[in-house]
Amino acid sequence: MSAQKDRWVSSLVFLLFCASSIPRSGSVGLQQEPSPQHYFSGLEAGRASLAFFTPSVPPGAQPFLEQIESSAEALQDYGISVVKVNCPKEDVSRYCGKENALRKAFLFRGNRLIREFPTDALFDVNSIVANVLFALLFNEVKYVETLADLENIENVLKGKSNMVFAYVPATGTAEHRAVMEAAFVYGTIHQFVLTTEAALLKATSHDDPDVSSAWLLFCHCQRATEPAQPCRRTALAQPLTLLNIHRHLKLMGAPLVTEVAEDPEKISTVHLQLGLPLVFILSQKETYEADRRTAEFVAWQLLGKAGVALLSRDLVDLNVLHRSNVALKTPDEGMPIQYLVLEDTDEVITLVEDKNKVKQIQEDEQEEEEEDEKENSNQDIQDDQVVEAVSRDKKRELPLEQILVLTEENFHSSLSEAARTVVLFYASWEAVSLAVLRSYSEVAAHLKGTPGVLLSRVNCWDWPGLCSQENVTQFPTIKIYKEGQQSVTYDGMWGTEELSSFILLSRVSCPLKLATMDEAEGYLRGEFPSELSSHHHTSLLGVFSTATSEAREAFEEAGNVLSGRVRMGMYFEDDALALSQKYSVSPPALLLARSGGRSVEGIALSKRSAQDMVQMIRYELLDVFPEITVPNLPQYLQLGKPFLILFSAGDISQIESKEMLKLAKGRPQQAFVACWLNLKKTPVGHGILKMYFSTTPSLPVLLWVNLHAGGQVFKFPSEQSITEMNILSWLEKLQAGLEIPSSALSEEDWKPPLPAYDFLQMMEPSVPELSPHTSPHPGETPAQHPPSSPGGASAGGDTAIREEASQESTAEEVGSPGRDLRGTAPRLAARDKQGKRHSEL
């Protein structure tokens, strides 16, 4: 960033050299002349000077004089001297004698008077500079009042030179000055045209312009040959300042399309130097003409926003995908060139415009950050979202009345009070615990009045013995204690809904033994047991003949493992065979009733271990074409397969859903997870799309995401409709390596977000014996600082520390001892008196 700014500065040096408004130290400033005679005799031919005449005692034109004096330096840069001529009392000449002449300033070139200004037109430095230059550049800057005048000038210029047309709301403004200063430099190259007529502004811009702000157009008349056509115009999008005008003119002067035949990484153009991106249109010999036209078209669109280069692939050996047609190089150093496959020129333009916006924002932010860094580094600013959220929430009192507080004293007695006791073990200082406690309080509100369930909590910071006795080693932990049974540890998502559902399901034993056929049928319909009737989940029923005890035991064991997570029942009465045959399986079998028993699926249970059975049940519970949400993603992640995911702005259409379902069902042992994401329900999906595509693609968009291997992201062509056939053939191409990934998952490691305080290094000066040479192996000195921040970062840190130390020692000198409470407790702001402390002792 800074390097880029350097370029900026250097490219402007010549401008500043002649047009600087920055005051120079020891500047020439205002000249004084003792008398008019003296002044006129000293005037050089061709040199301009602004003079004002004043009696020895000025009659109250003091503010004007101040402005004049301060503009002297600015005008000096344009070779215009500002002279204050003293009028002797007896002088009655033209300039001194008349009373009103004393209220005017006079502009001379040589000794010829060019213009006289009433002092009220010279109200400040801007107006003085603007008016003086305007007068001097009378030929270079045309003032127009009507559209006809403008068109006349334009027509004259066509094919010869370009025109800069500026509208300023009034003369003497800062914008006016900027235009005049630019005209001083560029006046010989371009024709400058100025107006203050709002009507003209309206005629030259398309939509309703704001007449109170200035406006500048660059008219490409040099290229215009058609007399009937107006010249192409490029407006300056930034505010009218000298720098912006200069930048704009510089960009307009650059070639429209640069032809490039070398490594694009090495290319540098005016655009890149001015901090704008450069778009490469990748061309081939065969399509050169068309590509050139495209490039020119794009270049006109992007004029002033980005540069366009035509890169011939035949001449440069590019190691990029054959299909790539556009490349984007950003001015940020170290940023690799992006190669893209874009479908139309609009995409190129949108891409660049969005990039610029981001950059603008980042620049702003970066500036803010840089300012921050000067004051203190961000090391001590919390960057853990959970910790920060919890500490921001700490003043809110949690509704915990529903939750019983357990202690070492009442723990065991309380457990026997309810059929089931849910215990949250947490630490009151730990952020994740406290976050879960908040969800837990919501669960308590949700389950209020549910019979047989007691919600309680144990603060392990108060009762460490109890927590270790209950084998709680991590915070938070939730256990459900049932009388006379082993406790169950919750291992699901820390969310209100998930936890509530777990607690509700835990009320019923798992698996639930069903005694009659009616119960079994009711169970499959979701009507039995009544506790769970409000719970809409897939029901599992194990059906066993009395003989198959081995499978039954495994099933029961699996039930223990899955307790609270799955609704499981089992039936092993004499008529089990009849029940299973209804669903065309024979026991041992598993009946799966999805969505309230509307469809029941029978699966034969071959001999399996309990563990296999858990695996199988988990797998069977997964949807074929699920809607991916934040809580359910991990279940599908565990399959370890790539995702074929349809991002949809809302619910997906019936057709798409049908096609996708067909696709997903088509192959039972899918090599991928077909799923969809509802951006309304899972808005974080926007974040994903933003990361994949700088611009948001049109929705719905179907993506192939290789989550586990390689991390490429492929986008299903938007012009094709989402049908099973299309997707299959696309997938085939994809598998064959014929498709180009649109994006890739970042390979970045999760490094420490910021460096730590390097106490070892801070201690060294005060504890010399700690320095490495006393360590046994001087050769292999251990890294002074944790491995992740070698070089620059820690060096930066050093200087910061040193600076601080010096500040401290000065603070110490002025610090007055003996303030109240000082020294009796840790100071709130311990800035002073840190430095010398230990050496004093």
Partner 1 sequence: LGLALYAGSLCAVSGAVFLYHDYCVIGAGPAGLQAAYFLQQAGRDYIVFERSHAPGSFFALYPRHRKLISINKQYTGKSNSEFNLRHDWNSLLSHDRRLLFRHYSRDFFPNADTMVRYLEDFASLLKLRIQYNTAIIHVTLEKNEQAWNGHYFLLTDQDRKNYKCSSLLVAAGMWVPNVVNFPGSEYVEGYETVSINPEDFAGQTVLILGRGNSAFETAENILGVTNFIHMVSRSRVRLSWATHYVGDLRAINNGLLDTYQLKSLDGLLEGDLEDLAIVKDKKGKLHITLRFYLENRNISAGIDSITLPQDELDNFATRAPYDRVIRCLGWKFDFSIYNRSLRMMPGKGNIKKYPQIKPSYESRGTRGLFVLGTASHSVDFRKSAGGFIHGFRYTTRAVHRLLENRHHGVPWPSTIYPITQLTNSIIKRVNEASGLYQMFSVLADIILLRENATAFEYLEEYPIGVLAELEMQTGRKARSGLFVIIMEYGRNFSGADKDVFYYNRAVGEAQHAWQSNFLHPVIYYYKHLPTEREMGLRPPDWPLPRPDAIHHIVEDFLTDWTAPNAHILPLRRFLENCLSTDLRNFFAESCFLFTFTHQKLPPFCQQGYVRMQGLLGSQELRHHAVQAGLLQDYTHTDFSGDRPHDSHDGSQEQLMRDHAIPVRPLQHLVNAKDE
| Ranges within 680-719 binding partner 1 (CB under 8 A) | 682-688, 690-692, 695-696, 698-699, 705, 707, 711
Q: How far is the CB of 391 from partner 1 (least distance, A)?
A: 5
Residues 761-780, interacting with partner 1 (CB under 8 A): 762-763, 767, 769-770, 772, 774-776
CB of 441 to partner 1, least distance (A): 8
Instruction: Pick the closer one to partner 1 by CB: 318 or 387.
Output: 387
Taking CB under 8 A as the binding criterion, the range among 209-217, 254-262, 284-292, 385-393 that sits at the site for partner 1 is 385-393
- Residue 530 contacts partner 1 per CB under 8 A: no
Residues 94 and 127: beta-carbon distance below 8 Å: no
369 lies in the site for partner 1, by CB under 8 A: yes
Tell me how far, at minimum, the Cβ of 459 lies from partner 1, in Å. 9
SS3 of residue 778 by DSSP: coil
Cα 171 to the center of its chain, rounded Å: 41
Spatial contact of 329 and 278, defined as CB atoms under 8 Å apart: yes
Q: Under the criterion CB under 8 A, does residue 796 sit at the interface with partner 1?
A: yes
Residue of 44, 314, 343, 388 interacting with partner 1 (CB under 8 A): 388
Stretch that binds partner 1, among 34-42, 256-264, 391-399, 606-614 (CB under 8 A): 391-399
Q: Are 420 and 386 in contact (CB under 8 A)?
A: no
639 binds partner 1 (CB under 8 A): no
Q: Considering beta carbons, is residue 12 or 445 the nearer one to partner 1?
A: 445
> Does 799 sit near partner 1 (CB under 8 A)?
no
Q: Restricting to residues 461-490, which ones interact with partner 1 according to CB under 8 A?
A: 461-465, 473-475
Residue 115: partners with Cβ closer than 8 Å, 6 or more residues away:
106, 107, 135
- Which DSSP letter does residue 138 get? T
Name the helix (H) or strand (E) containing 461.
Answer: none
Q: Based on the shown chain and the rule CB under 8 A, indicate whether residue 583 belongs to the binding site for partner 1.
A: no
Verify binding: residue 811, partner 1, rule CB under 8 A: no
Per-residue binding letters, 490-529, with partner 1 (x by CB under 8 A): -xxxxxx-x-------------------------------
| CB-side neighbour CA atoms (13 Å) of 45 | 0
Q: 411, 434, 431, 413: which is closest to 423 by C-alpha?
A: 411
Q: Which residues inside 206-235 make contact with partner 1, applying CB under 8 A?
A: none
Site for partner 1 in 644-663 (CB under 8 A): 649
CB 437 within 8 A of CB 457: yes
- Based on CB atoms, which residue is closest to partner 1, 21 or 718? 718
- Distance separating the N- and C-terminal Cα atoms of the chain: 47
**Residue 603 parent element (H or E):** strand 599-604
By DSSP bridging, strand 539-543 and strand 567-571 are parallel
SS3 224: coil
Query: By the 8 A CB rule, do 632 and 682 touch?
Result: no
505, burial (CB in 10 Å: exposed 0-12, middle 13-18, buried 19+):
buried
Q: Per CB under 8 A, does 826 bind partner 1?
A: yes
Using rule CB under 8 A, residue 621 touches partner 1: no
> Which of 198, 447, 740, 745: binder of partner 1 (CB under 8 A)?
745
Q: Distance (Å, rounded) from C-alpha 78 to C-alpha 69?
A: 15
Select the residue interacting with partner 1 from 354, 367, 483, 518 (CB under 8 A).
354
Q: How far apart are CA 591 and CA 568, in angstroms?
A: 10
Phi-psi group of 484: left, alpha or beta (phi > 0 → left; psi -120 to 50 → alpha; rest → beta): left
Residue among 711, 710, 688 nearest 699 (CA): 688
Nearer to partner 1, 329 or 785 (CB): 785
Contact 55, 4 (CB under 8 A): no
Which among 183-191, 299-307, 508-516, 758-766 is the span making contact with partner 1, rule CB under 8 A?
Answer: 758-766
- Measured from the CB atom, is 725 or 783 closer to partner 1? 783
Measured from the CB atom, the residue of 70 and 377 that comes closer to partner 1 is: 377
Stretch that binds partner 1, among 21-29, 188-196, 389-397, 413-421 (CB under 8 A): 389-397
Count residues binding partner 1 (CB under 8 A): 133
Q: What distance in Å separates the CA atoms of residue 361 and residue 355, rounded to the nearest whole number?
A: 10
In the list 94, 98, 392, 802, the residue contacting partner 1 (rule: CB under 8 A) is 392
R_g over Cα of the chain: 40
Q: What's the Cα-to-Cα distance from 370 to each of 363, 364, 426, 608, rounded to whole Å? A: 10, 10, 40, 63
Classify residue 627 by its DSSP letter.
B
809 binds partner 1 (CB under 8 A): no
Minimum gap (Å) between residue 612 Cβ and partner 1: 20
Which CB, 99 or 749, lies closer to partner 1?
Answer: 749
Per-residue mark of binding to partner 1, 238-267 (x: CB under 8 A):
------------------------------
Consecutive H or E run containing 187: none
813 binds partner 1 (CB under 8 A): no
- Strand ranges inside 125-177, DSSP E: 141-143, 163-167
6 binds partner 1 (CB under 8 A): no
Q: How far is the CB of 679 from partner 1 (least distance, A)?
A: 6
State the Cα angle at 783 between 782 and 787, rounded to 5°.
Answer: 135
Decide the pairing of beta strands 512-513 and 567-571.
parallel
- Residue 668 as a binder of partner 1 (CB under 8 A): the answer is no
Among residues 759, 778, 813, 820, which is the contact residue for partner 1, using CB under 8 A? Answer: 759
User: Which of these segments, 55-63, 358-366, 518-526, 588-596, binds partner 1 (CB under 8 A)?
Assistant: 358-366
In the complex, minimum distance from the CB of residue 53 to partner 1, in angstroms, rounded to a whole number: 54
Asked if residue 320 binds partner 1 (CB under 8 A), the reply is no
**278 or 460: CB nearest partner 1:** 460
Contact between 435 and 386 (Cβ < 8 Å) = yes
Binding to partner 1 by residue 146, rule CB under 8 A?
Answer: no
